[in-house]
Chains A and B, each alone.
Chain A
Amino acid sequence: MYEKEIKGKNNTGDNMTKEKYEKVAKKHEVKIPKTKNAIIAFLSGGVIGLLGEGIIELLCLFTHISRNSASSIMIVIIIFIASLGTALGFFDKLVTKFKCGLLIPITGFAHSMTSAAIDYKNEGPIYGIGANIFKLAGSVILYGIVAAWIFGMIRYLLGGNI
């Protein structure tokens, strides 16, 4: 009965067509400063990369470990900083400011895990933290593994050695 009424006439009173709606929506759309965002992402991402290489070189300089173990320690340090920053709350503000500059490096991975775990902490250790810690990072792991398996099988069956 209600459906008929709605179909029969426009019960809101105005006759907004689709084109008209799009026009109005476009007028009020928030314009994204694309060039500025791209430059900010470049600079902030670059600083993270610079920090990573810098930590590796400092570790190699002051301790006698191989470059491989230095890279692992560097990744652990970066993840530690990102996790702690998210838990303390200031990393969220940095992410809204720098966006992809912090989301694409491994900092984004650590940030998504910590923020999901902290947000669902109230729901308990199993259905809260345990079930939600991989909420956002899970897709990265899932598609990474599926893709690596498919490409790995192809590469292996073609007889390639790495």
Chain B
Amino acid sequence: MLLLNSFIFCGIVCMIAQIILDNTKLTPGHITSSFVVLGAFLDSFSLYDKIIKIVGGGALLPITSFGHSLIHGALAKANEYGIIGILMGMFDLTATGITAAIIFSFIFTLVFKSQN
């Protein structure tokens, strides 16, 4: 069931982005940035957590989940350390993705040449 939900949720998010891309003059950069903001906004009401519970892995992949992890880690640390925790915990949950992306792109950049 989670598999089907993942397919539908991830597909719908991508479809919305494609429809915005085709019907407005916004670039993919605008869309990904605003989707991150949207994800952070949804999680400030704990809505995205509920989506992850229903959908599973499919909700972790779209870029909206990046905004959700940022605010989620920040608020988790804020519960522990007070207002400074918002700054302490900002990268807690996204660290995996960002670190992996930096390391892999750096290694592959050193190894491979540009194709163009």
Identify the A interface with B (CB < 8 A): 32, 34, 37-50, 52-57, 71-72, 74-76, 78-80, 83-84, 86-89, 92, 99-101, 103-106, 108-110, 113-114, 117-119, 121-122, 129, 133, 136-137, 139-145, 147-149, 151-156, 160-162
A129 and B86 within 8 A (CB): no
A114–B104 contact, CB under 8 A?
yes
Chain A residues positioned under 8 Å from B6 (CB to CB): 46, 49-50, 52-53
The number of chain B residues with a CB under 8 A from chain A is 75
Q: Which residues of A lie under 8 Å from residue B102 when comparing CB positions?
A: 113, 133
| 9 other A-B residue contacts (CB within 8 Å) besides A49-B57, A105-B14 | A38-B22, A45-B62, A52-B6, A75-B96, A100-B18, A103-B17, A136-B29, A148-B40, A152-B86
- Residues of the B chain whose Cβ atoms lie less than 8 Å from the Cβ of A74: 57, 60
Give the contacting residue for B100; candidates A79, A153, A160; CB below 8 A.
A79
User: Hey, which chain B residues are within 8 Å of A92, CB to CB?
Assistant: 115
Contacts of A84 in B (CB 8 A): 104, 108
The answer to whether B71 and A148 have CB atoms under 8 Å apart is yes
B74–A152 touching, CB < 8 Å: yes
Instruction: Report how far A109 CA is from B63 CA in the complex, Å.
Output: 8
Interface of B is mostly: helix
- Which B residues lie at the A interface, using CB under 8 A? 2-3, 5-15, 17-19, 21-23, 28-29, 31-37, 39-41, 43-44, 46, 49, 55-58, 60-63, 65-67, 70-72, 74-76, 78-79, 83, 86-87, 90, 96-98, 100-102, 104-106, 108-109, 111-116
- Rounded to whole angstroms, the CA-CA distance of A72 and B89 in the bound complex is 17
Cβ contact within 8 Å between B10 and A49: yes
B76 closest partner in A (C-beta): A162
User: Does B28 contact A117, Cβ atoms closer than 8 Å?
Assistant: no
Contacts of A42 in B (CB 8 A): 11-12, 14-15, 18
Nearest CB in chain A: distance from B115 CB, A: 4
